[in-house]
Amino acid sequence: MAKHPKPEEIVAKLRQADVLISQGQSVSDAIRALGVSSVTYYRWRREFGGLKSDQVRRMKDLETENQRLRKAIADLTLDKLILQEASRGNF
């Protein structure tokens, strides 16, 4: 199974590609130097393009917190529905 790079590693690779391109290499040569496919490169560029490492880390932390909160809301909503049914005597 392939190892998925951490967001900070992706940002570093995108910076490396920027440096190579600014030194006159073609985009395809820079992508090849990173060792990823062009599809992966452009997906990374779309997702992480303008971010710095600390911003990526913060974004991932917020996404994790958002998932946790969504699960908590779903659990509370289910509890509320169960209690409503029980209070009506429909159990």
**So what's the pLDDT on residue 70?**
96
**So what's the pLDDT on residue 11?**
87
Kindly tell me if the per-residue pLDDT of 3 is higher than 90. no
Owner of token pair 């932390």: 61
Sign of CA dihedral 43, 3, 6, 67: positive
**So what's the pLDDT on residue 32?**
94
2-21 average pLDDT score = 86
Output phi, psi for 3, to 5 deg.
-80, 130
The answer to whether residues 11 and 48 touch, using CB atoms and an 8 Å cutoff, is yes
User: What does the alpha-carbon distance between residue 89 and residue 83 come to, in Å, rounded to a whole number?
Assistant: 10
Domain boundaries, the chain: 1-51, 54-91
Cα–Cα distances (Å) from 7 to 24, 32, 33, 73, in that order, read 26, 19, 19, 28
pLDDT of 35-77, one tens digit each?
999 999 999 998 887 777 778 778 888 889 999 999 999 999 9
| CA torsion angle 47 51 53 59 (round to 10) | -60
**So what's the pLDDT on residue 90?**
61
Would the pTM count as exceeding 0.85? no
